[in-house]
Amino acid sequence: MAHLLMVESWVGSMSRLLPRAVREAGHEFTFLTRELHHYLRSAPEGVAHPLLGARHVLTAETNDVDALLPFVERTHGALGFDGVITSCDYYLPTVARIADRLGLPGPTAEAVQSACRKDVTRHVLAGAGVPGPRFAVCTGLAAAQEAARDLGFPLVLKPVDLCAGMFVRRVDDEAELARAHRALTEFPVNARGQRRDPVVLLEELLDGPEVSVETVSYGGAVQVVGVTDKSVGGAPAFIETGHMFPAALAGSDADAAARTARDAVLALGLDEVVAHTEIKLTAAGPRVVEVNPRPAGNRITELVRHVTGVDLAAAAVDVALGRAPDLEHRATGLSSAAIGFLVPDGAGTLAEVAGAEQVRSAEGLLELQLAEPGKAVKAAGSNNEYLGHVMAGDTDGPGARKRVEELLAALCPKVVAAR
């Protein structure tokens, strides 16, 4: 039995899947957070949050890494950790520095920092010849306007240090660029209390469908577990509205995406990492959107598990302990699995989601999760405002997405507008 230090977490599915993976492997973990209430308030009433299954729960200022390292070193001396892990993007660099300080397995801090900073990723991949969009890194609106004139509209404006699609916007002219830039500058501190870097990334708008490649790196080798497709809506935002695994692609396209993702992970120097690399399949070939050095969110890990039997959360635990992960595909009875999200288009209070009982008893349903009545709703601008999701599978082929779309169409969220 091993003992992991888990530093912070997402409050969504990975806050449940990662503790489950630790427990099912026969290990235990200590949870370290700056604010335990951040997680407890996300648990359904009367249900103990899985993070409370920790052997110990410790409180420290996880946003001050220089002060945190000596604290963790002392704690390691008392409790003894065999690995350190997180599911939250904002603490991946912290975990890498802790692993380095304690001599525990994991990727280098430099590689993780490069992957977590979208501007640095662009420079590293460009230097390695891994294809991506034309881009510019800008500080201030004037610099962004000048870069936009050189690159040419339409463009994508991105923060370099946020996730879940927050403040990522398509901009078609200077007026839209100014509005998107202003909105981002008015968000100087992220949801975890960390001050943001004001640098912005401008990228050419890529054509073609977007996919993600799920990989596991161990011992210097990168193994591709599979390719997931993605549907996007909410323009000018880029909101993920659904996914299917495996992606319904020609074999040549899937192979090209896999090669490009592998090249990106290797170029960044990521080892002992489960990674989620997003790629656009353009007319000119695959182009890297971004590399995330952690398991995929939005329950993609569960889609993979339903189809292949491979548990990417368990793989993340294994590599954090310096152990070879089990990536053998097993027959599960499903050929494809898909998820679709209920994305609100207006603000108010959720009264109900009509059609839920019909969907709950539907054939092929794997999972139905809906927001509770009374939830405050706002029009979606990122992947953080969903009202729920439907997950379904297909035993005979790539029909899971169609089944999910049918089930989503049967759901009708009723939102009462604020007066």
Q: Per residue in 192-224, pLDDT tens? A: 999 999 999 999 999 999 999 999 999 999 999
End-to-end CA distance of the chain: 56
3-state secondary structure of 134: coil
Phi, psi values for residue 30, rounded to 5°: -105, 130
| CB contact at 8 A, 203 and 153 | no
Rounded to an integer, the average pLDDT of 290-315 is 97
Burial call 81-92: b when 16+ CB within 10 Å, e when fewer: bbbbbbbbbbbb
Q: What is the mean pLDDT of residues 352-361?
A: 93
Q: How confident is the model at residue 40 (pLDDT cuts 50, 70, 90)?
A: confident
Which residues, in sequence order, are bridge partners of residue 290? 278
| Lookup: tokens for 48 | 């103990």
Residue 269 CA: distances (Å) to CA of 25, 108, 291: 28, 8, 12
**Cβ-contact 347, 418 below 8 angstroms:** yes
The 28-33 sheet, strands edge to edge: 56-59, 28-33, 3-7, 83-85
Q: How confident is the model at residue 360 (pLDDT cuts 50, 70, 90)?
A: very high
Q: Quote the pLDDT of residue 45.
A: 63
| Angle in degrees, CA 43, 47, 53, rounded to 5 | 85
Output the CA torsion sign for 288, 292, 294, 295.
negative
- Phi (first) and psi of residue 239, to 5 degrees: -100, 125
Specify the pLDDT at position 41: 76
Query: Cis peptide leading into 286, omega within 30 of 0?
Result: no
The average pLDDT across 30-54 equals 84
Evaluate if residue 419 carries a pLDDT over 90: no
- Mean pLDDT, to the nearest integer, of 4-25? 94
Condensed to tens digits (0 to 9), the pLDDT of residues 112-163 reads 999 999 999 999 999 999 999 999 999 999 999 999 999 999 999 999 999 9
DSSP 191-258: TTSPBPP--EEEEEPPPS-EEEEEEEEETTEEEEEEEEEEEEESTTB-EEEEEEES----HHHHHHHH
pLDDT of residue 48: 76
Per the prediction, the chain carries an average pLDDT of: 95
pTM for this model (two decimals): 0.95
Q: What is the pLDDT of residues 371-388, one digit of tens each?
A: 999 999 988 889 889 999
Residue 380 is predicted with a pLDDT of 86
Kindly indicate the confidence band of residue 324, based on its pLDDT and cuts at 50, 70 and 90: very high
Q: Which pLDDT belongs to residue 37?
A: 87
Do the Cβ atoms of 225 and 312 come closer than 8 Å? yes
Residue 72 has pLDDT above 70, yes or no: yes
Q: Residue 399: its pLDDT value, please?
A: 96
* Structure confidence at residue 417 (pLDDT): 83
Short-list 113, 18, 88, CA closest to 318: 18
Q: How far apart are CA 239 and CA 233, in angstroms?
A: 5
Strand-pair partners of 341: 389
Report the helix count and the strand count for the chain, using DSSP H and E: 13, 19
Q: Cα–Cα distance between 111 and 200 in angstroms, integer?
A: 21
As a whole number, mean pLDDT of residues 312-327 equals 98
